[in-house]
Structure 1
Amino acid sequence: MTSDHGYPAVRMYIAGEWCQGGTGRTAPIVNPATEEAIGEVPLATTDDLDRALAGAAEGFRAWRDTPVARRTALLHAAADLLTERSAEVGRIMTLEQGKPLAEATGEARRVADTLRWHADDARRAYGRIIPSAPGTLLSVRREPIGPVAAFVPWNFPAGGPMRKISSALCAGCSIIIKASEETPATAAALVGCFVDAGLPAGALNLVFGEPAEVSAHLIASPVTRLIAFTGSVPVGKLLAAAAGEVMKPSLMELGGHAPVIVCADADPARAARRAAQAKFANAGQVCTSPSRFLVHERLVEDFTAEFVKAAEAVVVGDGLAEGTTMGPLANERRLQAVQRLTADAVSRGATVRTGGERLDRAGYFFAPTVLTDVPADADLLHEEPFGPLAPIVPFGDLDEALTTANALPYGLAAYGFTESAATAEHLVRELEAGILSVNHCGGSVSEAPSGGVKESGYGREGGPEALDAYLITKRVSHLLAG
């Protein structure tokens, strides 16, 4: 069933059944390009969550005992279904989140490959035999940790859920995932691929609800054994503390404020083009988005001119419209946040080189914005902007730039541009971040780990490390008979 907007009806998936919430509570789903309600999301009750917990407990026993070859084949089948359905999943994503259709469809296809990668890597969750005393067999075994409670935001409606779902299922865990109430239909479409591929009931459960209510109930339950979260630093701290109270491990991918250091020997035009492309992807609503541009004083004018040119070439509009390269911000909260950060910077003396204001149309559209003369005390240089704002700050000494880059409590991503291999290694060694790119602003990839340091979280997603949090290590000492 779909609405007049072509948007599907949203349901939860609990213990093998698609369902509405027990009391029929719902919240509106808004298209950020039009500000119109396009559907309703059901909100879980405590009883709904208890059914999901019971389903996850039962589903874990069935899924854990499924031979790994069978698990891998089923997960590949789900990935194939997602690839086949990527155009429709992308359209749904654009309707509820706003990003351009090509970007959304690409995200759906990319996360299908994430699932394939993890499915294959699950075959290599090896243990080992350790040489020991005669008559003793000493081994190390890796086993799934158990049911997982996972919480993801709205900025990557397919990517966020899939990173948690794929790691959990590939490790042999069951999972209850609370996806964003603002982008629920994309998550439901992903779950539908697993259901249609034949995943056992209870192995994957999808719920929506009041975030504080859902997280408190799922974290406190003795059923869940791991808490996985992607989102802001303040919320991550709250969930990690709640998990700590019941001695549960947690996996936290939290916010960032990624510095870009453009060294004196870099090509300023090339650096500006590559940095701008990354800055305005998903309207800047990316935790690894480049967001503080530290440019050597010899290059800063050339860099700024090219960055402004790239910003003014961005086509802002409805993600479903042909030619759009940047959609709206996802909600009114983000619009107000970028307006506040821009106004604060200007009030302290910053110069708006382009953009700087909401576009005069329906929808949460904000112009790609470049600011110079941004003082060190501006909020924009201290708070994660999570929007299309690019503050450019000159520097004279590289070590001073590194000190500035590392001064914040964040440590998720960092970027550098240089033509010198020695300088590149200096950047990599000194920048305090879990994700670094040199001469580009690369995003996450399935085959390599992503994660932060300092207040940007702990644990890794992607690559062989992605399964670590979802597996426990058992030491087994077996005294042989005789």
Structure 2
Amino acid sequence: MTDNLYINGQWTSGSGTRRGAVINPATGETIGAVTFAEAADLDAALAAANAASAGWARTSAYDRAAILKRAAANARAQAEAMAQAITREQGKPLSEARMEAGSAGDHIEWYAEEARRTYGRVIPSRQPEVMQSVMLEPVGPVAAFSPWNFPIGQLVRKLAGALAAGCTIIAKAPEETPTCAMILIQCFVDAGVPAGVLNLVFGVPAEISAHLIPSPVIRKISFTGSVPVGRLLGELAARHLKRTTMELGGHAPFIVCDDAEAEKVALLGAALKFRNAGQVCASPTRFLVQDAVAERFTTAFVARARALRLGDGAAEGTEMGPLAHARRLDMMQALVADALDQGARLLTGGARHGNTGFFFEPTVLADVPLSARIMQEEPFGPIAIVNRFADLPEAIAEANRLPYGLAAFGFSTRTDRTHAMARGIETGMMSINHFGLAAPETPFGGIKDSGHGSEGGSEGILSYLTPKFVSQFNG
């Protein structure tokens, strides 16, 4: 299909001839091509979003919710098609892709309900003749940039949140994974989203952001991606006084105290670490384990890592798929080599797996010194660091040492310890004694270099609304 762009209610092949290759990361083979938007296409999308903005903002919350509920039903009906496309173009096992695609309907439905609860408030006045109120209004057209690691999970939050609030949107989806994004867009189109309200583009990220963000049409930017790119887009947005939501990278600590069930926690930790081959912004990376249970935890963790079945995500029984790009293989190898040079111990993995596709072995490093690159840089791949600590304040200090603050995990049966972790760790999301992140009804976002703002939960729709204070004299 060459009509990859959706602009002003029409699928189009765009105004230019540039295309990007779509590659199956399990084989390294080119399996398709995607249209790259040119300046003329972006201008058309801007004009469409601008023209549709007032009408969509005036559409009642009740009617917007009804459209979104139909979109949610459509997304559930198309979940398998989206999952198959995710695995084919992104690489994750089909079981994980099905979970991601299957949750899209829940995210849309959550925002449909939130659309009807954007209440505002009445403020008691100092004068009896004056009525003071705060109304919540759509911020206006949105430019949204979503990543390839969760091509449905991240995109759907932006689409549903903006549309529920009454904003029009231009979504720049990842060119590596176009098919699932196109299926998701069609779910909204078939639900009755008017022309111009929803627009989809692909292309060179720097070109698209440089064109959309400075435009006077765009009132808000939502970006999910790396810290360096987030900084650049944040600077550009600030130059033009645009509101932003930035969900950036992390380097999540995973603290295991000596009263926790070490082997059970190790299995959960391995499942979280190697999910999507470690290509998860909230993935645990620094496993900080108290001395008394370190051997038990590490033995169980390494055994699970070694037992993982690598392969094509579409194959039966695959537990971990490939990395998304060949360049990620080089980064994994460089991080491992540097850690070993600095004195770390390699417990398993550490090398490319096979010669076909972009597979890297599940890797566990122990006793990694702070001087190693991987102790500073987010690995964004299947490499786990297991280091020991003596007491909890030491672990909390290590958790807070880096400028990241997206997610953190803590395990203890003692309430004084769990309370200390919940209060003491600088993070936007904290999961204690289980994995409890990323549900539609909960906020998802970080602090410090991991960004600002939230997607999901009641906080998610508020980021697309702006308060208007009205003071009315009735004397």
Which residue of structure 2 aligns with residue 6 of structure 1? none
- 1:121 equivalenced with 2:94 (yes/no): no
Q: Could you tell me how far 1:313 is from its partner in structure 2? A: 2.0
Moved more, 105-114 or 428-437: 105-114
- 1:51 equivalenced with 2:33 (yes/no): no
Which residue of structure 1 aligns with residue 361 of structure 2? 367
- 1:345 equivalenced with 2:347 (yes/no): no
Is this contact kept in 1: 2:446–2:452, CA < 8 A?
Answer: yes
Which residue of structure 2 aligns with residue 97 of structure 1? 90
Where in structure 2 are the equivalents of 1:2-17 lying within 5 Å? 11-17=4-10
- 1:276 equivalenced with 2:258 (yes/no): no
Is this contact kept in 1: 2:143–2:220, CA < 8 A?
Answer: yes
Pick one of 26, 35, 60 that aligns with 1:33.
Answer: 26
Q: Could you tell me how far 1:146 is from its partner in structure 2? A: 0.4
The amino acid across from 1:99 in the alignment is: K
For residues 9 and 325 of structure 2, the distance between their equivalents in structure 1, rounded to whole angstroms, comes to 32
For residues 118 and 355 of structure 2, the distance between their equivalents in structure 1, rounded to whole angstroms, comes to 52
For residues 356 and 178 of structure 2, the distance between their equivalents in structure 1, rounded to whole angstroms, comes to 23
For residues 265 and 94 of structure 2, the distance between their equivalents in structure 1, rounded to whole angstroms, comes to 26
For residues 332 and 21 of structure 1, the distance between their equivalents in structure 2, rounded to whole angstroms, comes to 29
Pick one of 143, 152, 159 that aligns with 2:137.
Answer: 143
- Secondary structure of the residue aligned to 2:236 is helix
For residues 58 and 185 of structure 1, the distance between their equivalents in structure 2, rounded to whole angstroms, comes to 27
Q: Could you tell me how far 1:395 is from its partner in structure 2? A: 0.9
Is this contact kept in 1: 2:250–2:406, CA < 8 A?
Answer: yes
Is this contact kept in 2: 1:275–1:440, CA < 8 A?
Answer: no
The amino acid across from 1:237 in the alignment is: R
For residues 129 and 391 of structure 2, the distance between their equivalents in structure 1, rounded to whole angstroms, comes to 64
Pick closer, same or farther for the CA change 1:10–1:297 going to 2, 3 Å.
farther
The amino acid across from 1:348 in the alignment is: Q
Which residue of structure 1 aligns with residue 351 of structure 2? 357
- Secondary structure of the residue aligned to 1:298 is helix
Which residue of structure 2 aligns with residue 67 of structure 1? 60
Q: Could you tell me how far 1:176 is from its partner in structure 2? A: 0.3
For residues 436 and 272 of structure 2, the distance between their equivalents in structure 1, rounded to whole angstroms, comes to 8
Q: Could you tell me how far 1:199 is from its partner in structure 2? A: 0.7
Which residue of structure 1 aligns with residue 317 of structure 2? 323
Which residue of structure 1 aligns with residue 78 of structure 2? 85
What is the CA deviation profile of residues 407-447 of structure 1, one whole-angstrom value per residue up to 9, with x for unaligned ones?
A: 00000001111010111000101000010011123331111
Which residue of structure 2 aligns with residue 111 of structure 1? 104
- Secondary structure of the residue aligned to 2:330 is helix
Q: When the two structures are superposed, what TM-score results if normalisation uses the length of structure 2?
A: 0.98
- Secondary structure of the residue aligned to 1:477 is strand
Which residue of structure 2 aligns with residue 456 of structure 1? 450
- Secondary structure of the residue aligned to 1:202 is coil
Q: Could you tell me how far 1:10 is from its partner in structure 2? A: 5.7
- Secondary structure of the residue aligned to 1:251 is strand
Q: Could you tell me how far 1:68 is from its partner in structure 2? A: 1.5
The amino acid across from 2:216 in the alignment is: P
Q: Could you tell me how far 1:222 is from its partner in structure 2? A: 0.3
Unmatched segments (≥5 aa) in structure 2: none
Which residue of structure 2 aligns with residue 443 of structure 1? 437
Which residue of structure 1 aligns with residue 261 of structure 2? 267
Pick one of 295, 306, 310 that aligns with 2:304.
Answer: 310
Moved more, 345-354 or 80-89: 345-354
Q: Could you tell me how far 1:209 is from its partner in structure 2? A: 1.2
Pick closer, same or farther for the CA change 1:10–1:91 going to 2, 3 Å.
farther
What is the CA deviation profile of residues 265-313 of structure 1, one whole-angstrom value per residue up to 9, with x for unaligned ones?
A: 1111011111111001111100000000111111111100000111122
Pick one of 150, 160, 167 that aligns with 1:166.
Answer: 160
For residues 385 and 285 of structure 2, the distance between their equivalents in structure 1, rounded to whole angstroms, comes to 7
What is the CA deviation profile of residues 65-105 of structure 1, one whole-angstrom value per residue up to 9, with x for unaligned ones?
A: 22221111111111111101111110011110000111112
Is this contact kept in 1: 2:111–2:164, CA < 8 A?
Answer: yes
Is this contact kept in 2: 1:10–1:40, CA < 8 A?
Answer: no
Pick one of 216, 224, 246 that aligns with 2:240.
Answer: 246
For residues 428 and 382 of structure 1, the distance between their equivalents in structure 2, rounded to whole angstroms, comes to 23
What is the CA deviation profile of residues 325-349 of structure 1, one whole-angstrom value per residue up to 9, with x for unaligned ones?
A: 1110011122211111111111222
For residues 411 and 28 of structure 1, the distance between their equivalents in structure 2, rounded to whole angstroms, comes to 34
For residues 21 and 99 of structure 1, the distance between their equivalents in structure 2, rounded to whole angstroms, comes to 30
- 1:288 equivalenced with 2:270 (yes/no): no
Which residue of structure 1 aligns with residue 231 of structure 2? 237
- Secondary structure of the residue aligned to 2:116 is helix
Where in structure 2 are the equivalents of 1:429-440 lying within 5 Å? 429-440=423-434
For residues 10 and 340 of structure 1, the distance between their equivalents in structure 2, rounded to whole angstroms, comes to 39
The amino acid across from 1:383 in the alignment is: E
Which residue of structure 1 aligns with residue 399 of structure 2? 405
For residues 61 and 361 of structure 1, the distance between their equivalents in structure 2, rounded to whole angstroms, comes to 54
Q: Could you tell me how far 1:210 is from its partner in structure 2? A: 1.1
Is this contact kept in 2: 1:32–1:331, CA < 8 A?
Answer: yes
Q: When the two structures are superposed, what TM-score results if normalisation uses the length of structure 1?
A: 0.97
For residues 441 and 403 of structure 1, the distance between their equivalents in structure 2, rounded to whole angstroms, comes to 22
Give the aligned CA root-mean-square deviation in angstroms: 1.0
Instruction: Determine what percentage of the aligned residue pairs are the same residue.
Output: 52
Q: Could you tell me how far 1:367 is from its partner in structure 2? A: 0.9
Is this contact kept in 2: 1:10–1:185, CA < 8 A?
Answer: no
Is this contact kept in 1: 2:56–2:167, CA < 8 A?
Answer: yes
For residues 347 and 134 of structure 1, the distance between their equivalents in structure 2, rounded to whole angstroms, comes to 74
Is this contact kept in 2: 1:254–1:456, CA < 8 A?
Answer: yes
Q: Could you tell me how far 1:131 is from its partner in structure 2? A: 2.0
- 1:210 equivalenced with 2:204 (yes/no): yes
- Secondary structure of the residue aligned to 2:218 is coil
For residues 89 and 217 of structure 1, the distance between their equivalents in structure 2, rounded to whole angstroms, comes to 29
Which residue of structure 2 aligns with residue 198 of structure 1? 192
Moved more, 279-288 or 327-336: 327-336
Is this contact kept in 2: 1:126–1:141, CA < 8 A?
Answer: yes
For residues 401 and 69 of structure 1, the distance between their equivalents in structure 2, rounded to whole angstroms, comes to 49
Q: How many residues align?
A: 474
Is this contact kept in 2: 1:263–1:398, CA < 8 A?
Answer: yes
Q: Could you tell me how far 1:379 is from its partner in structure 2? A: 0.9
Which residue of structure 2 aligns with residue 378 of structure 1? 372
Is this contact kept in 1: 2:3–2:12, CA < 8 A?
Answer: no
